[in-house]
Amino acid sequence: MIKPSEAQIQGQVALALAEDIGTGDLTASLSNESERVRATLICREDAVACGRDWIDAVFEALDPSVQIDWRCQDGEDLKAGQIWCVINGSARAVLSGERTALNFAQLLASTATATRTLVRHLHGTNAQLLDTRKTVPGLRLAQKYAVQCGGGSNHRLGLYDGILIKENHIRSAGSIAAALTAAQTHVGTVDLIEVEVETLDELSQALDAGARRIMLDNFSVSDMRTAVEHNQGRAKLEASGNVNAQTIREIALTGVDFISCGEITKNVSAVDLSLLFDQPET
C-alpha cells in the first residue's frame, strides 16, 4: 500500500504544528501544567476512518506520554456518533494538538469517504476507480493512501514514475505517433505509458501507433461505448471527466477498464468530527 513513511508523516505534522502554535499556544497555557484529561474523538456522520498515524504523530510530537486508545482502524466504516478514539494525557498537549489532528483527520477521512462512495457504484462491473495528481500540495502521498483506504487505486504518483501524454505534449511532439515513439525510450523503466485522446479519430491514431493505455478525455457515454467496441481489447481504456456519483456507474458499464476522478482529492468536504473533553467529576 502506498503510504508516506513515518519520517514524512512526522515532517508534515511538524510543519502543521509550527504553523499553528508558532512561539507558543497562549490559550492552552491558561490550563494547569499538571492537569490531565480524557478526550473522545467522535465522528458526527457516516464516514471512512483515515489518518490514525497523523493523529498519533501530532500528540507524540507535543507530549510522548499522551496515550490514544483506537476504536476504529483506517479503512473501516465509522457510523454517525461513533467513537474513533479516546485520548488521555496532558490538557495542554491535547488542547494544542486538537486542531492540527482534526485537520489531518478531516482531510484524509473525507478523501477516503468520497472514494468509497464512488467505489460502491462500481460493484458488479470490471472498472477500477483511480485518483489523479489533483491533490493538496505536500500531502499527495497522504491523500493517495486515503484513496486506497476508501477502496480506490492509485494512478501515477507524480511526473517521475509514469508517462501521461496529454494535449500539449502531443502538440509539442507534433503528433500522437511521434509522442508515443519518444516515450518508448522509457519502456522498462516506468510501468505506465498512457496517451490522452479527445476524439474517436485520435483513439484510432493512438491504437495505430501501438498505445497500450489510452485515456478517453471527456468522452460522452455513447462515444465511450464506441471506443470500447473499436478498441477490441487492444489497449486498456481509462475514462476521465465528469465523474461523480450520478455518472460513474453508467461510465463503468461501457466496458472501460479504469475511471479516474480528481474530485475525490481536490473537492474535499470535511467530515464532521469533534474532540470533546469528558466532564470532570463533581
Catalytic residues: 99, 134, 166, 196, 217
Which among 73, 36, 69 has a CA at the least distance from the CA of 51? 73
Q: How far, in Å, CA of 26 to CA of 17, rounded?
A: 14
Residue position matching grid coordinates 510543519? 15
d(CA 152, CA 114): 10
Amino acid at 169: H
Is 147 in a helix, a strand, or coil? helix
Q: Of how many residues is the chain composed?
A: 282
* Distance from C-alpha of 216 to C-alpha of 277, rounded to nearest angstrom: 51
Distance CA 35, CA 25 (A): 16
Beta-bridge mates of residue 187: 190
Task: Give yes or no for a contact between 243 and 263, defined as CB atoms under 8 angstroms apart.
Answer: yes
**Cβ(87)–Cβ(41) under 8 Å?**
yes
Strand segments (E) across the chain: 36-43, 47-48, 67-70, 77-78, 82-90, 128-130, 163-165, 193-197, 213-217, 236-240, 258-260, 273-277
What is the rounded distance in angstroms from the CA atom of residue 265 to the CA atom of residue 243?
A: 13
Contact 152, 132 (CB under 8 A): no
- Sheet of strand 273-277, all strands in order from the earlier edge strand to the far edge: 67-70, 82-90, 36-43, 273-277
